[in-house]
Amino acid sequence: MSRTVARVLLIAAVSIACETTVLLLMPAHDSTDSLSYIIPARNLAAGRGFRDIDPPAYLLAPPGYPIREGPDVIRTPGYPLVIALFGLIGTIVFQHLLVVAMSVALYFFARRATRSDNAALFAALTFACFLPMARTANVLLSEVPFIATLFAAVIAVDAATRRDSVPLAVFSGILLGAAVLIRPAGIYFFIPVTAVLFVARKPRVAAAFAIAALLLPAAWIARNNRLAGAPAICSVAGENLLLHWGGAVEVTRDWSHLDRLMATEAQSGYRAPIHRRRLVLFERAMELARADGVDPTAVSSAVRSRYEARLARQILFAQPIVTAELVMSAAIEVVFNAPALALTEYVRIPTPIAIVIVVIAFAFVVAGIVSIARRDRTLALLLAAGIFYFSFMTLPESDIRFSIVFAPFYCIAFAAGIEALARRRGSKGPS
């Protein structure tokens, strides 16, 4: 048996053990968001098309707005299609198998990134033992299929760059477009990836990738425009922008700079006022619709979402310093606090120690990106783009399940940082 085969078997065994343990010990497979995927999945399976109820808003229930049944514009079709194909329990098993497959794929990709078998093995085992990933795979949520498709797209982009291959670039773009239809948070990721490809002086690859990445999302946006009256990827985007970010700015605009920088971490006196302000913000957005001659009670949530996004932009652009400070606070929460809380929950490490561990790990990630850049600047930029973009798109959510999207890139960079430190220490040894 070759060393590579032995390592792959070890990674698969560790991953299977972790996934099976979570599957057996955590029988509940639903979350508050699961039903919004299950209902359109059942309609798809029954041949009724991608349909669901269209509520006035996903995050609140304003009075006077009817709930209609019709084309689903709240969710994109990718994950409901997975559920329709595999069923509820079958989807859970499929998601656990995806984590196992990603663990093995990560070993080979990390070996290329780090040029080290040991670092690649460490990266893959870190990912395989990452319990928040296994726990998320055990719930009917879109994160794991999205991460798997996104990771495959990045691997394909890297291969297209190295081979200067337009067909591979098209394939990687279609994969990214498919990922967007699973989880819309990836809709703008083609922009930093395309920029990286132009920096790498691969204009043909960049153009082919960008065009291919837009095909599936553009088709879905056209569908929503035709059936719901608004060219949107989903109706939740504008709502989130207003009710999360617009509300946060309005609540904290009279706070001190320090209080805003610590708002997401402190939580106390921050979340509750935002929730109380949501209905007021929603009605203000609907007044914009009425000013345009649109009756907000007679249109779809996709149309209402456009006015929510418009009001949100007005609020955010009117308070750029407040917005920037809240973004920084949320970034600290996503990059440091959420992983630290996960360590506390899963490993029972005291929170202060967990925060120190997470800060050290982040330092290794930065060092790893720098180390990879010395050998392959394009790959390092791709990994950095994945970590930065999805850290930002996760904001202001603080649940670790929103942060695991960039876990494959993080594990590779982390292992590369440790490998770089080990090489440096070895080079300082006696000659």
Within 26-116, where are the H helices? 35-45, 78-86, 88-114
pLDDT at 31 over 90: no
**Structure-model confidence comparison of residues 344 and 290, the more confident one:** 290
pLDDT band at 395 (very low <50, low <70, confident <90, very high): low
Highest mean pLDDT among 8-12, 43-47, 264-268, 403-407: 8-12
pLDDT band at 266 (very low <50, low <70, confident <90, very high): low
pLDDT at 195 over 80: yes
Using CA atoms, how far apart are residues 188 and 389, in angstroms rounded to an integer? 9
pLDDT at 146 over 80: yes
Using CA atoms, how far apart are residues 121 and 127, in angstroms rounded to an integer? 10
pLDDT band at 292 (very low <50, low <70, confident <90, very high): very high
174: how many CB neighbours lie within 10 A of its CB? 17
Q: Would you kindly state where each structural domain of the chain is located, as residue ranges? A: 3-427
pLDDT at 233 over 60: yes
pLDDT band at 57 (very low <50, low <70, confident <90, very high): confident
pLDDT at 397 over 80: no
Give the type of residue at 281.
L
Using CA atoms, how far apart are residues 100 and 369, in angstroms rounded to an integer? 25
pLDDT at 372 over 70: yes
Mean pLDDT of 56-68: 84
Nearest by Cα to 196 from 420, 394, 388, 410: 388
Report yes or no: 79 and 125 within 8 Å, Cβ to Cβ: no
Report yes or no: 43 and 51 within 8 Å, Cβ to Cβ: yes
pLDDT at 1 over 80: no
Using CA atoms, how far apart are residues 3 and 335, in angstroms rounded to an integer? 35
pLDDT for the residue 393:
79
DSSP 395: T
Tell me the per-residue pLDDT of 330-351, one tens digit each, with 9 for 90 and over.
Answer: 888 888 888 888 888 888 888 8
pLDDT for the residue 367:
96
Using CA atoms, how far apart are residues 334 and 407, in angstroms rounded to an integer? 12
Give the type of residue at 83.
I
pLDDT at 281 over 50: yes
Report yes or no: 282 and 243 within 8 Å, Cβ to Cβ: yes
Nearest by Cα to 245 from 301, 143, 180, 322: 322
Using CA atoms, how far apart are residues 160 and 163, in angstroms rounded to an integer? 5
Q: Six-digit token pair at 27?
A: 């029988």
Q: Six-digit token pair at 262?
A: 């610590």
Nearest by Cα to 401 from 412, 390, 415, 411: 390
pLDDT at 396 over 60: yes
pLDDT at 428 over 80: no
pLDDT for the residue 100:
97
- Mean pLDDT (the chain, rounded): 91
Phi, psi for 233 (deg, rounded to 5): -70, -35
pLDDT for the residue 431:
38
Using CA atoms, how far apart are residues 172 and 390, in angstroms rounded to an integer? 18
Percent of the chain with pLDDT over 90: 69
Report yes or no: 53 and 64 within 8 Å, Cβ to Cβ: no
pLDDT at 270 over 90: no
pLDDT at 312 over 80: yes
pLDDT for the residue 271:
79
pLDDT for the residue 427:
62
Tell me the per-residue pLDDT of 167-192, one tens digit each, with 9 for 90 and over.
Answer: 999 999 999 999 999 999 999 999 99
Residues whose CB falls within 8 Å of the CB of residue 284, separated by 6 or more in sequence, listed in order:
311
Report yes or no: 351 and 340 within 8 Å, Cβ to Cβ: yes
Give the type of residue at 266.
A
pLDDT for the residue 263:
80
Tell me the per-residue pLDDT of 86-113, one tens digit each, with 9 for 90 and over.
Answer: 999 999 999 999 999 999 999 999 999 9
pLDDT band at 430 (very low <50, low <70, confident <90, very high): very low
Number of H helices and number of E strands within the chain? 22, 2
237: how many CB neighbours lie within 10 A of its CB? 19
Q: 5: helix, coil or strand?
A: helix
Angle 143-163/166-182 helices, nearest 10 degrees?
170
Residue holding tokens 């269209």? 54
366: how many CB neighbours lie within 10 A of its CB? 14
Q: Which residues of 61-71 are buried (b: 16+ CB within 10 A; e: fewer)?
A: ebeebeeeeeb
pLDDT at 313 over 90: yes
pLDDT at 213 over 90: yes
pLDDT band at 46 (very low <50, low <70, confident <90, very high): very high
Q: Six-digit token pair at 67?
A: 């709930």
**Structure-model confidence comparison of residues 33 and 105, the more confident one:** 105
Nearest by Cα to 302 from 373, 205, 366, 225: 225
Does the predicted TM-score (pTM) go above 0.85? yes
**Structure-model confidence comparison of residues 81 and 391, the more confident one:** 81
pLDDT for the residue 267:
57
